[in-house]
Amino acid sequence: MKSLNIENLCFEAGLFSAQESRHPEPSLFGVTDGKAVGTYLEHKFRAYLLANGYNFAQGNSANGIDFPDILVDMKVTSIRQPQSSCPFKSARQKIYGLGYSLIIFVYDKNDDETLRTATLKISNTVFVEAKHTADFQMTKGLRDILANEGNIDDLTAYILEKNLPVDDIELNNLANEIQNNPPVQGYLTISNALQWRLQYSRVIEKAGIVDGVLVVYKGYCA
């Protein structure tokens, strides 16, 4: 058995994406539920890794991510609305990142009415390093404030303006932490909710252009 690491995860994800883009799947014909499509692809990719001799810890609801031993979560999303939900742990995730990396499979589902099969054409597979999984606008704004000699009051005002879900104590602690430990630029769009809503349009656009957002696979969707 081979140990799974980020390098071979990305390598295999690229091969898998190309393979899956050509695979007609009868069980997905007529399926419009994105969650069902995501579950199908997640299970199939894990089975693919196991079939290719990789040894890895299986994710579960307790740890919340798909590959906990290498701190990577798998996301599957339609190119028509590239987004998904994510467990909310702390407001600071929007500033300092989710705490784990993401591998994101973006698909365009095509049904063949004659053959009654569906094909998931993978348009993009992108890997986002953990330190770059914070919110783009939040981190950019905070970094700009610090670059312009902003102080604790400026940071606090900005966080309040962005409606980050924090109480007064956490707000003050965060502002002090940001001043002493400026956040790295994030590239996700993270919407406030009971669960974070992650949006991926920017990471798709920036993959291969900025540090920490890597092109794993780029296909073509007609």
**HEC profile for 87-101?**
CCCCCCHHHHCCCCE
Q: Where residue 59 falls among pLDDT bands split at 50, 70, 90?
A: confident
d(CA 76, CA 163): 28
Give 4-34 pLDDT, tens digit per residue.
999 999 999 999 999 999 999 999 999 999 9
- Asked if residue 106 belongs to a domain, the reply is yes
With a cut of 70, say whether residue 194 has pLDDT above it: no
Give 195-210 pLDDT, tens digit per residue.
889 999 999 999 999 9
Q: Where residue 44 falls among pLDDT bands split at 50, 70, 90?
A: very high
Q: Do residue 55 and residue 119 come from a single domain?
A: yes
- Domains identified in the chain, total number: 2
Tell me what pLDDT residue 51 has: 96
Q: Do residue 205 and residue 119 come from a single domain?
A: yes
Q: Do residue 126 and residue 45 come from a single domain?
A: yes
With a cut of 70, say whether residue 60 has pLDDT above it: no
Q: Is 27 helix (H, G, I), strand (E, B) or coil?
A: helix
Q: What is the mean pLDDT of residues 73-89?
A: 92
- Asked if residue 22 belongs to a domain, the reply is yes
* Mean pLDDT computed over every residue of the chain: 93
Q: Do residue 57 and residue 157 come from a single domain?
A: no
With a cut of 50, say whether residue 222 has pLDDT above it: no
Q: Do residue 10 and residue 110 come from a single domain?
A: yes
Q: How many residues does the chain have?
A: 222
Q: Do residue 78 and residue 165 come from a single domain?
A: no
- Asked if residue 95 belongs to a domain, the reply is no
Q: Do residue 119 and residue 25 come from a single domain?
A: yes
Q: Do residue 214 and residue 141 come from a single domain?
A: no
Of residues 88 and 122, more confidently modeled: 122
- Asked if residue 213 belongs to a domain, the reply is yes
Q: Which domain holds residue 148?
A: 137-180
CATH for 41: 3.40.210.20
- Asked if residue 90 belongs to a domain, the reply is no
- Asked if residue 173 belongs to a domain, the reply is yes
Where does the chain have alpha helices with state H?
6-20, 34-51, 93-96, 136-147, 152-161, 168-180, 201-206
Q: What is the mean pLDDT of residues 119-129?
A: 97
Residues 6 or more apart whose Cβ sits within 8 Å of residue 28:
36, 37, 40, 109, 117, 118, 120
Q: Do residue 65 and residue 147 come from a single domain?
A: no
Residues 6 or more apart whose Cβ sits within 8 Å of residue 222:
none
- Asked if residue 93 belongs to a domain, the reply is no
With a cut of 50, say whether residue 219 has pLDDT above it: yes
- Asked if residue 209 belongs to a domain, the reply is yes
What pTM value is reported for the model?
A: 0.93
Structure-token pair, residue 140: 């950019």
Q: Where residue 221 falls among pLDDT bands split at 50, 70, 90?
A: low
Q: Do residue 20 and residue 120 come from a single domain?
A: yes
Q: Do residue 27 and residue 114 come from a single domain?
A: yes
Confirm if 97 and 129 have CB atoms less than 8 A apart.
no
Q: Do residue 42 and residue 23 come from a single domain?
A: yes
With a cut of 70, say whether residue 61 has pLDDT above it: no
| C-alpha torsion 89→95→97→103, nearest 10 | 110
Q: Where residue 63 falls among pLDDT bands split at 50, 70, 90?
A: low
